[in-house]
Chain A
Amino acid sequence: DVKVTQSSRYLVKRTGEKVFLECVQDMDHENMFWYRQDPGLGLRLIYFSYDVKMKEKGDIPEGYSVSREKKERFSLILESASTNQTSMYLCASSSPGQRSLNTEAFFGQGTRLTVV
C-alpha cells in the first residue's frame, strides 16, 4: 500500500518558534510538494522538489524553507512561526509520466498547525 506519511496530525506552536514539518514517502517518487490548505483558497503550493537537494518556489514561499537531503524525505521549515501561518499543511509526491509531468499524486493526511 503506497504511503505518504506526515510526522504530526496536529501541532501547536508559539509565535517566533522554528517549526519543522516532516514528510516521508515510500514510493521512490522524484517529485515532492508542500501545499497549504485554507478555506476558500484551495491548495496553494509552497515549495516543490524534483530531486534530492533540488527545489523550486511555489506561489507562496515567503516565511518558509524546505530541505530534501534524501529522496524519500521532504521537510518544510517555518523559520519564525507567525499566527498567519496557522493552517492545514499537506505533503504530496508523484513521479514524472511519459506524457504528463506528474503521474497520480499521493497525499499525506495533513498537519493542522496552530500558531499561538
Chain B
Amino acid sequence: QQPVQSPQAVILREGEDAVINCSSSKALYSVHWYRQKHGEAPVFLMILLKGGEQKGHEKISASFNEKKQQSSLYLTASQLSYSGTYFCGTEYGGATNKLIFGTGTLLAVQP
C-alpha cells in the first residue's frame, strides 16, 4: 500500500528548482506532504484534496492528479533551509482513516 516517491535523493544548489513525485497503486482520497530535518520529527507542509487542487506554502507548492493517482511537490528557488527528507502521506478513504507514508525523498541544498 505504501506510495512510491521519486527521486530517492536529489542534490541542488541554492536557487535551483526540484520536483518530488508521489505515486500510488490505489485511488487516493487526499495527499499530505511533510518535511523531516535531520534528527527532528516530520513537520506538516500541506494537504491536497480530491479535485486536482494545487496549493502553495512559501516557495513550495504541490499538485494532486486523482486520475493518475499521483501528487507532485514543487520547490522553487531552493534555500538551504529546504534540506531534509520529504514524505508524502496518502489517505485512501473507505472505512479507514489510515495515513500511509511514502518511501521518502532526501533533498540536500548546497551553497
Residues on A facing B (Cβ under 8 Å): 4, 31, 33, 35, 40-45, 48, 50, 56, 58-59, 90, 92, 94, 96-97, 99-110
Contacts and interface: CB of A to CB of B under 8 A. Distances in A.
Contacts of A59: 1-2, 100
B5 to A, nearest CB: 7
A43 B98 contact: no
Given A45-B100, A56-B98, A102 B91 contact: yes
Interface string B86-111: 01010101001111111110000000
Interface residues of B, number: 28
A24 to B, nearest CB: 15
Contacts of B96: 48, 56, 101
A105 B35 CA distance: 12
Nearest to A43: B101
Nearest to B46: A104
Interface string B64-96: 000000000000000000000001010101001
Contact of A101 (B43, B87, B93): B93
Contact of A42 (B41, B49, B103): B103
Given A103-B47, A105-B44, A42 B87 contact: yes
B35 to A, nearest CB: 11
